[in-house]
Structure 1
Amino acid sequence: MDITMRIGQLIEQSGLKKNYIAKQMGVQPNTITRWANGGRIYLDDAIKLAKLLGCTVEDLYEE
């Protein structure tokens, strides 16, 4: 499993809507979709995303 699959899985498991995550992070909803589908995520965004999902940054990168 690669990072993109893990991000998508964690978003799904969180029960949070992508629109909610996007609003909380100050990005467009398509950015969240892009991350879940393999787009690059910068460290500062990964930190914010992990906090919202209740996991660590390492969990986002875990295989």
Structure 2
Amino acid sequence: MRSRSVAHPSLSCRTSPPRVGRLAVLSAFANRQRCRKGVVREAANLPLEGEMSPKATEGVGTS
């Protein structure tokens, strides 16, 4: 059996492009902010999934 050193991982391990430049900085910053305190913050005052906002329902039913 012949052993050889592999300079690069197999193609299946390299399917996504490297994260370099501005994109890497932005994603690292976002992850750091999200994980920094380990606290789950409240979501913005958004309607629940499937609900309509009050502004969307203002004109409904008025004829």
TM-score scaled to structure 2, two decimals? 0.23
| Structure with greater helix share of residues | 1
TM-score scaled to structure 1, two decimals? 0.23
**Pair member with larger Rg:** 2
